[in-house]
Amino acid sequence: MTATPDRAFEAYFAERVARLRRSAYLLTGNWHDAEDVVQTAFVRLYSVWHRVREDTADAYVRKVLANVYLSSRRGQPGRERPVPDVPDGPAADPLPDVRLGLREALAALTPSQRTVVVLRYWEGMSVAETATALGISAGTVKSQTHRAVLAMRPYLIEEVH
């Protein structure tokens, strides 16, 4: 980090917060929890900012984000999911069934499967990088991915074709 640490952190935050928040949304399913997770990840990142190298900051914060999410989900299998608005009519969506189905399929995944999907396919991390970030084996990443894709496959037809 070449600038003063706080300036560098501010710049990093400004550049990455939106993307990380989207990743967190895919993990948590709502913006409220997503911002909680992102905030915790940035707090942890800031606390070690002086030790983080520029080329490893992304990997570090993604790892923290995933782990914060997984920790927050443990012991809360039946937790209610807050929604910002109560739908009062059909949404005008060109692919309502597919889109809604994909959201539900994503939400129905286990937290670890969902984390693997988001890290691999949204963040573009490799199997090895995902395994390292989550502290699990590459084989576990592959099996989690396989199960997740199986569950989501009915809603991925548009993508495949």
Partner 1 sequence: MRGALSTCLPDPEPPIGLDLEHIMRQGRRRQRVHRAIPLAAAAVTVLTVAVPWSFGSTGPASGGTLPVLGGSPSASIAMTSPAPPLAAVPPNQQTATVPPAQDPPPGTPAPSGTPSTAQPPPAQPAHRAPAGHAQDKDGDALAKTIVDRLPAGRTADYFGTRSATMVGARYGWGFHILWQDSGRYGYLMWLHRTKGAFPATIYGLPAEPCAELADRLPSYHCAPVTVSNGTATSFDVDTGDHRMRGIVWDQKDSAGGADMRVTVAFTLPAPGAWTPFSMLDTAPRLDTIPMSIQDMAKLMGIN
CA 28, 51, 21 angle in degrees (round to 5)?
Answer: 20
Residues 6 or more apart from 127 whose CB is under 8 A from it? 120, 138, 141, 142, 145
Task: Indicate whether 38 belongs to the interface with partner 1 (CB under 8 A).
Answer: yes
Nearest alpha carbon to residue 105 among 147, 58, 46, 48 = 147
- Among 4, 47, 80, 90, the residue binding partner 1 under the rule CB under 8 A is 47
Buried b (16+ CB within 10 A) or exposed e, 77-89: eeeeeeeeeeeee
User: Minimum Å distance from CB 2 to partner 1?
Assistant: 19
What is the closest distance, in whole angstroms, from the C-beta atom of residue 92 to partner 1 in the complex?
12
With contact defined as beta carbons under 8 Å apart, do 138 and 58 qualify? no
Residue 106 host element (H or E): helix 96-108
Q: Does the footprint of partner 1 cover residue 18 (CB under 8 A)? A: yes
- Kindly tell me which of 42 and 113 has the beta carbon lying closer to partner 1: 42
Of 21 and 142, which has the nearer Cβ to partner 1? 21
Q: Does 109 bind partner 1 (CB under 8 A)?
A: no
Instruction: Answer yes or no whether residue 106 interacts with partner 1 by CB under 8 A.
Output: yes
60 touches partner 1 (CB under 8 A): no
Interacting residue with partner 1 among 16, 28, 33, 42 (CB under 8 A): 42
Helix axes 57-73, 31-47, angle to 10 degrees: 130
| Interacting residues with partner 1 (CB under 8 A) | 6, 9-10, 13, 17-18, 21-22, 25-26, 31, 35, 38-39, 42-47, 49, 66-67, 70-71, 74-75, 84, 95, 98-99, 102-103, 106, 117-118, 121-122, 124, 134-136, 149, 152, 155-156, 158-159
